């Protein structure tokens, strides 16, 4: 096992919908599964052009599971249905039961607060339901009030529906919103509203409460839902979120005006006259899963940070979470993708000074290099940016 990776065998491959498949993974060494917190993800090493590629996928089964880790993956498609997602297509087309994959331990801070007793809203779009299903399993039997709200195109692409539905009880309520349901969906009564999730839908289906919200899905869906939740009065520190695509801030995304959408035609009367906020299936093409909810920065000493190639200097005072964020605040645009110490896209030269990692890199950079997405300065530093 190198760089924290361990070999797993695919024990089962299950089709969950027309575009989503689950993979059950067991360790080849016969040892115990890794401990995992509900909401965390695994990092898979897969072949790429010239070098392995790292892709991350949420653990979608119960954190208490002892037989296997499960990931549930949407097959990404490009224009005219051509394969687009390198990782997802490799898994769907090339990996079969019995094949082996190198996997790194669970990571991520988008996790369920299991100590809290507040009511919970699990709000997902598309394949963004995967970490929330893991959270739902952990909430079963706790007595906490839970609302699992999922938006997708229709029943043909709705994954893990039966698994979620069977967990419903007096404390857990499930609500499904289909943008374009088919006749089979209508006949089966498979959804609760047609269209998009909007303020009226939430107000008519959820009682007022001091919720903790866990939000996951494509970036346009997330931005609209975040804005909606803020309009309903939920404070930022009660909204934890994770989305599929290049990491960013939902505060920034939510500032952009949402386009007008068709109302929920099959919803309650209070909903039908309203314009919905977003298309929950505006799928992101990048597959990296990144937790971007606001995290408190620790107390740090002030330090001068110089970006040598750009001729820019900034004062580090702890207001930024990372050297990457400090560079962005200074108007620079360094390369990045994951913001979690996984992909190495943000790697740059450390000309002088020392840094410390608040998120340990999955593959530490060579001497003289630094991953600025998960690093802070220990004193004055000069970066080759």
Q: Mark whether 124 and 102 lie in a shared domain.
A: no
Is 133 found in the same domain as 280?
yes
Pairing of strands 375-377, 355-357: antiparallel
Residue 59 lies in a domain: yes
pLDDT for position 76: 83
Residue 180 three-state SS? coil
- 56 is a domain residue: yes
What percent helix, strand, coil does the chain show, rounded to 5?
Answer: 20, 30, 50
Chain centroid offset of residue 185 CA: 27
Chosen domain end from 76, 107, 138: 107
Does residue 256 form part of some domain? yes
Between CA 69 and CA 64 the distance in angstroms is 10
Return d(Cα 223, Cα 225) in angstroms, integer: 6
Strand order in the sheet with 53-58: 53-58, 41-46, 100-107, 6-15, 20-27, 69-74
Angle (CA) 216-81-69 rounded to 5° is: 40
Same domain, 70 and 177: no
Based on the fold, state whether residues 99 and 142 are members of the same structural domain.
Answer: no
pLDDT at 142: 96
Phi (first) and psi of residue 136, to 5 degrees: -60, -40
User: Is the residue at 115 inside a domain?
Assistant: no
Q: Are residues 11 and 66 in the same domain?
A: yes
- pLDDT at res. 246: 52
Given 291, 316, 346, which residue is the final one in a domain?
291
* Residue of 106, 126, 132, 94 lying closest to 13 (CA atoms): 94
In terms of domains, do 34 and 95 share one? yes
Residue 49 lies in a domain: yes
Contact between 102 and 27 under an 8 Å Cβ cutoff? The reply is: no
Same domain? 242 vs 150? yes
- Show the tokens assigned to 94: 């090339």
Q: Give the span between the Cα atoms of 342 and 35, in whole angstroms.
A: 19
Which of 375, 330, 329 is closest to 348 using CA atoms? 375
Last residue of a domain, one of 291, 326, 360: 291
Angle 279-281-283 (CA atoms, 0-180°, nearest 5)? 120
The answer to whether residues 74 and 127 touch, using CB atoms and an 8 Å cutoff, is: yes
* Per-10-residue mean pLDDT, the chain, length 385: 79 97 98 96 88 90 97 77 67 96 94 96 96 98 97 97 96 97 96 94 90 92 91 92 63 54 36 27 34 44 91 92 92 85 90 92 91 94 96
Same domain? 35 vs 128 = no
What CATH number is associated with residue 244?
3.40.50.80
208 and 169 belong to one structural domain: yes
Domain residues for the domain of 209 are 120-291
Whole-angstrom Cα distance, residue 54 to residue 142?
35
Handedness of CA 47, 52, 58, 59 (dihedral sign): positive
Same domain, 28 and 127: no
Query: Are 278 and 221 a contacting pair, CB within 8 Å?
Result: yes
* In-domain check, residue 16: yes
Cα angle 149, 112, 26; round to 5: 95
pLDDT for 301 equals: 64
Q: What is the pLDDT of residue 209?
A: 84
């Amino acid at each position: 096992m190198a760089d924290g990776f361990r070999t797993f065998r695919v024990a089962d491959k299950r089709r969950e919908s027309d575009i989503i498949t689950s993979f059950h993974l067991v360790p080849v060494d016969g040892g115990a599964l890794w401990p995992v917190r509900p909401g965390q993800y695994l990092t898979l090493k897969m072949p790429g052009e010239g070098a392995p590629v790292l892709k991350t996928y949420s653990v979608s089964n119960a954190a208490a599971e002892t037989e296997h880790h499960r990931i549930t993956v949407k097959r990404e498609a490009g224009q005219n249905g051509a394969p687009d997602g390198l990782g997802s297509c490799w898994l769907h087309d090339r990996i079969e039961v019995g094949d082996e994959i190198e996997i790194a331990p669970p990571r991520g801070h988008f996790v369920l607060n299991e100590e809290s007793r507040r009511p919970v809203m699990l709000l997902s779009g598309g394949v963004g339901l995967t970490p929330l299903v893991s959270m739902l399993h952990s909430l079963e039997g706790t007595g906490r009030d839970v609302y699992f709200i999922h938006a997708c195109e229709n029943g043909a692409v709705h994954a893990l529906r039966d698994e979620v539905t069977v967990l419903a009880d007096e404390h857990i309520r499930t609500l499904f919103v289909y943008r374009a349901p088919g006749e089979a969906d209508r006949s089966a009564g498979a959804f609760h509203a047609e269209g998009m999730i909007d303020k009226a839908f939430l107000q008519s289906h959820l009682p007022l409460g001091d919720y903790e919200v866990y939000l996951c899905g494509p970036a346009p869906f997330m931005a609209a839902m975040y804005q909606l939740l803020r309009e309903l009065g939920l404070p930022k520190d009660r909204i934890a979120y994770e989305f599929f695509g290049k990491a960013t801030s939902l505060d920034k995304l939510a500032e952009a005006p949402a386009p007008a959408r068709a109302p929920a035609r099959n919803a309650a009367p209070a909903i039908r006259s309203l314009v919905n906020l977003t298309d929950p299936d505006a799928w992101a093409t990048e597959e990296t899963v990144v937790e971007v909810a606001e995290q408190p920065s620790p107390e740090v000493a002030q330090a001068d940070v110089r970006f040598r190639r750009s001729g820019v200097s900034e004062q580090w005072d702890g207001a930024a979470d990372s050297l990457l964020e400090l560079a962005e605040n200074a108007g620079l645009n360094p390369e990045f993708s994951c913001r979690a110490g996984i992909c190495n896209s943000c790697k740059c030269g450390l000309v002088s000074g020392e840094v410390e990692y608040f998120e340990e890199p999955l593959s530490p950079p060579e001497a003289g290099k630094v991953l600025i997405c998960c690093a802070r300065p220990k004193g004055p530093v000069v970066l080759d940016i």
